[in-house]
Amino acid sequence: GENVEQHPSTLSVQEGDSAVIKCTYSDSASNYFPWYKQELGKGPQLIIDIRSNVGEKKDQRIAVTLNKTAKHFSLHITETQPEDSAVYFCAASRNAGKSTFGDGTTLTVKP
Amino acid sequence: DAGVIQSPRHEVTEMGQEVTLRCKPISGHDYLFWYRQTMMRGLELLIYFNNNVPIDDSGMPEDRFSAKMPNASFSTLKIQPSEPRDSAVYFCASSLAGVVTGELFFGEGSRLTVL
């Protein structure tokens, strides 16, 4: 089955700095790579996703890059703000089938 | 749109008791997933349904766990008998099939504590 590894497990940055979280996956058939943000006491919520036919996608301060050859994808957050503090999960799946999640990264943005 | 609705939000029970968690997916979604979240194991997929039919229950930890989806708008996850190691947050999520999106919409979760 699919295996997703996520690094780092914790990340602390100063407000305004950039944050990068990296994931690798094992199943070459995976074609959908979402990123979820989970705030305390809530369920994960999608913030950005990318499909295997695209190498990069950007939405305001967040971007995701995908390297299919290396089976590697990353989340980039620029100009971080305190409200970006949360747990971030990467995942891999085939279309609407089951998603395999990484272990999560706890991001802390210090004011 | 009400989103995915889970109940109860919090449940405290004693070892050996039966626990039933409930989920109402987003109307029109044809996939429903049950996940368990713990500090040690992260987000684990327990079981998922497509059009009310269980597709993969390989993540269900033991026979003590069972899940049903009697219709498109309701699913239950039952633990009988419960044990302290079942303490976790249980999430239900739904999605819509297709190549356009695979986004999961999560509920707020049910926090279970087994004493």
Q: What is the pLDDT of residues A45-55, one digit of tens each?
A: 999 999 888 88
Q: Strand B31-38 and strand B42-50: pairing?
A: antiparallel
How sure is the predictor about A93, in pLDDT bands with cuts at 50, 70 and 90? confident
A31: its two tokens: 């074609």
Task: Give me the pLDDT at residue A13, please.
Answer: 97
Residue A25 pLDDT more than 50? Answer: yes
- With CB atoms and an 8 Å threshold, state whether B109 touches A104: no
Query: Which A residues, 22 through 81, put their C-beta within 8 Å of a C-beta on chain B?
Result: 32, 34, 36, 41-46, 49
Q: Which of A30, A82, A34, A31 is nearest to A59 (CA)?
A: A34
Q: What pLDDT sits at residue A94?
A: 80
User: In the 8-state DSSP scheme, what is residue B25?
Assistant: P
A40 to chain B: closest CA residue: B108
A96 and B4 within 8 Å at the Cβ level: the answer is no
* Cα–Cα distance measured from residue B111 to residue B87, given in angstroms and rounded to the nearest whole number: 8
Question: Per-residue pLDDT averaged across B97-105, rounded?
Answer: 70
Alpha-carbon span B115 to B63, nearest angstrom:
20
Share of chain B above pLDDT 70, in %: 96
In this structure, what token pair is assigned to residue A77? 């957050």
pLDDT of residue B100: 52
CA pair distance A73, A7, nearest whole angstrom = 11
Q: Mind listing the pLDDT tens digit for each residue in B59-98?
A: 998 899 999 999 999 999 999 999 999 999 999 999 887 5
pLDDT for residue A66 is more than 50: yes
Q: Measured between CB atoms, which of A32, A43, A104 is closest to B91?
A: A43
The string of DSSP letters for A81-102 reads: -GGG-EEEEEEEBSTTSPPEE-
- What DSSP string describes B7-47? E-SEEEE-TT--EEEEEEPPTT--EEEEEEEETTTEEEEEE
